[in-house]
Amino acid sequence: MNVLVTGAAGFIGSRYARLLLAPDAPDAPRVTVLDKLTYAGTLDNLELGHPRLEFVQGDICDAELVDKLVADADQVVHFAAESHVDRSITGAADFVRTNVLGTQTLLDAALRHGTGPFVHVSTDEVYGSIESGSWPEDHPLQPNSPYSASKASSDLIALSYHRTHGLDVRVTRCSNNYGPHQFPEKVIPLFVTNLLDGHKVPLYGEGRNVRDWLHVDDHCQGIDLVRTKGRPGEVYNIGGGTELTNRELTGLLLQACGADWDRVEYVEDRKGHDLRYSVDWSKARDELGYRPRHDFTGGLADTVAWYRDNRAWWEPLKRRVTEERA
């Protein structure tokens, strides 16, 4: 069996590719990675010498290339996306092109070749913000940033291919991921690497925004359960079960890095900043047997240790972002 994994040179996709390539992976599938290698993707995330891995550099909007790769695939797991909210606020065009048109290009190819399951990996941000309780999968989508709006659009397009054409599409929506190999402009690696370098960290507003934190390996476990056991046309939330305000998270990161609150710089809040995200993941639990395996305290300590021990991985990436913005 050959699984096409898009965007697998990035944070979550590369961890998922490693899961499929593990020695004890059921069916030992071949894995074809399609990645454009934009700023957030790096070949250092992949096991390039693995005998079951093929890497192809390319754009999911390239219909000819996508058709060729999908024709040779039995299943598709689709991670490729522009995903940084702040970047979407200053320029939404790339988000619409990649997240919406790229997804549609992949779906068209899957439809032509009868490829499935097609797992479309999305985000809890499509739901908007919730004051209390948790979103079930059938909650109306109310995205508030160009990024989340582009992901909501791609969710709806993907599901429409199931309802219109009968394509085996399955959608996952996850909460905030953390773990090794996360690009250092995201909040946890940004704060950790800044603190390790003796710099300050930027905290939006008063730090009251609440997020549910999910270890990347738990997320990948959930995605694979959806791929292997999920139902066509269904949406599955994948959560971590640890809700923290950004201020609480900052305190934990300061403590882990041996720093004090004088290293925190309060900055103007992000435009349209959602106050709270919280997904109800009981459907994945009850139908698929999904449960997070990582305790947040231990998972965060391991993550901080990984960044402390792997400067050679993240320092070039941070330099690249600094040069890009200069």
The catalytic residue among 82, 125, 137, 212 is 125
Under 8 Å between Cβ of 290 and 238 = yes
Q: Residue range 186-201: average pLDDT?
A: 96
Instruction: Indicate the pLDDT class of residue 284, thresholds 50, 70 and 90.
Output: very high
Q: Residue range 126-148: average pLDDT?
A: 95
* 108 in active site: no
The half-sphere exposure of 12 on its side-chain side, counting CA atoms within 13 A, is 28
> Any idea what the CATH number is for the domain that residue 94 is in?
3.40.50.720
Residue 317 in any domain: the answer is no
Residue 144 in any domain: the answer is yes
Number of domains forming the structure of the chain: 1
Residue 49 scores a pLDDT above 70: yes
Residue 26 in any domain: the answer is yes
Residue 62 scores a pLDDT above 90: yes
pLDDT tens for residues 215-259? Answer: 999 999 999 999 999 999 999 999 999 999 999 999 999 999 999
Burial 23-35 (b: 16+ CB within 10 A, else e): eeeeeebbbbbbb
Identify residue 253 by its one-letter amino acid code.
L
Q: What is the pLDDT of residue 301?
A: 97
Instruction: Indicate the pLDDT class of residue 325, thresholds 50, 70 and 90.
Output: low
Structure tokens at 315: 């320092």
Under 8 Å between Cβ of 178 and 188 = yes
Query: SS3 helix, strand, coil % of the chain, rounded to 5?
Result: 45, 20, 35
* 147 in active site: yes
* 124 in active site: yes
Query: Residue 6's closest CA among 50, 65, 49?
Result: 65
Residue 203 in any domain: the answer is no
Residue 302 in any domain: the answer is no
The catalytic residue among 16, 147, 178, 277 is 147
DSSP-derived letter for residue 286 is: H
Residue 246 in any domain: the answer is no
pTM: 0.95
Quick check: bond before 202 cis, omega within 30? no
Instruction: Indicate the pLDDT class of residue 318, thresholds 50, 70 and 90.
Output: confident
Question: Which residues, in sequence order, are CB contacts of 26 under 8 Å at separation 6+?
Answer: 228
Q: Residue range 5-21: average pLDDT?
A: 97
Residue 299 in any domain: the answer is no
pLDDT tens for residues 139-153? Answer: 999 999 999 999 999
The catalytic residue among 16, 35, 82, 124 is 124
Q: Across all residues in the chain, what is the average pLDDT? A: 94
Under 8 Å between Cβ of 76 and 70 = yes
pLDDT tens for residues 171-187? Answer: 999 999 999 999 998 99
Q: What is the pLDDT of residue 7?
A: 96
Query: Residue 249's closest CA among 299, 305, 317, 306?
Result: 299
Residue 150 in any domain: the answer is yes
Structure tokens at 267: 């900055």
How many H-runs (helices) and E-runs (strands) does the chain carry? 12, 12
Q: What is the pLDDT of residue 90?
A: 79
Instruction: Indicate the pLDDT class of residue 321, thresholds 50, 70 and 90.
Output: confident
Q: What is the pLDDT of residue 12?
A: 97
- The rounded distance, in Å, linking the Cα atoms of 75 and 308 is 37
Domain that residue 7 falls in: 2-178+213-238
Alpha-carbon distances, residue 88 vs 61, 98, 121, 149, 266 (angstroms): 18, 12, 18, 10, 22
Q: What is the pLDDT of residue 272?
A: 75
Phi and psi dihedrals of 236, rounded to 5?
A: -130, 120
